[in-house]
Amino acid sequence: MKILVTTTSFQDTPGAHHQILEDAGFEIIRERGPLPEKRMLELVGEVDAFLCGDDEITSKVIDHALPQLKVVSKYGIGLDKIDIEYLTAKGIPLTFCPGVNHTTVAEHTFALMLALFRKLIKEANHVANGEWVRITGNEIMGKTLSVIGLGRIGKEVAIRANAFGMKVIGFDLYWDDDFARSHKVERAQSIDEALNAGDIVSLHVNLSDETRALINKDRISKMKDGVVILNCARGEIIHTHDVINALHSGEIGGYGTDVLDIEPPPSDHPMLRAPNTVITPHIGSRTFESVERQATMAAKNLVLALQGEAPLAQANDAPLTAHI
């Protein structure tokens, strides 16, 4: 049975997940994703299952993969690159890995925040270049943090913000009163109320039609002057050119992001030259601890689904059928 494995974190990190696939006797086809639709079309057709990252699994890819394709196992939780509706209509189970990377991404959010407020990248580069330049930064204690999306990751960000002495305002469609009371999170009644209240805005929502270009020129104009925006969700949640223009004008004081609208970005991507940014290459969940949890879950999901057994987490309601 042939399995296409595209997630680089899975491939590059040692751990029990490799043994799970080996013990199942699979033939592994390795590619380094995320892969665009064109490359996926070249690879599928004789592949029985995908263990994928953020590859483009479109209706065209699914059609080309059938009738051989039996299961798609997503490494991670973001499903916006997969045509779930079409995959489900074709009866292909889709598994994913919730609840395994929230602490890691929350820590990365604070790494971006502190890097911006204390000018850490500039300072480290000065010293590396033999220069002893001392720039005055800012504290985050006492600042208002607006957390947009209080799922697992957003909640972990709120917990850490409390430890730093920040005021936390949150917005989520599915409000958790018990959590908010326990961790002193003030509820915003609308997303705009939350965005406009924050000295810092941290984005933790899924990409959808409703959240695409959520941070745009109109909303930026109503936010606090010099607001710092953090994005460990999806690059398309911001309107790239609107944010770049606001960085140049000073309306946005800093943008810390682990994601871009094109990944990997071309060398001339305008965000790479924007001022007051800290950009990392989608590594928010890439720690040895988190990768081991995610990869093991993704591998177990794959094997269980191919055996016709309930996976640890399934993202659609396609029926399970035993194939091994």
Q: Which residues have a catalytic role annotated?
A: 234, 263, 282
Of the candidates 278, 227, 279, 219, which has an alpha carbon nearest to the alpha carbon of residue 249? 227
Structure tokens at 21: 């696939």
Backbone angles phi, psi at 289, to 5 degrees: -65, -50
- Residue located via tokens 């091994």: 324
What is the Cα–Cα distance from 210 to 203, expressed in whole angstroms?
A: 14
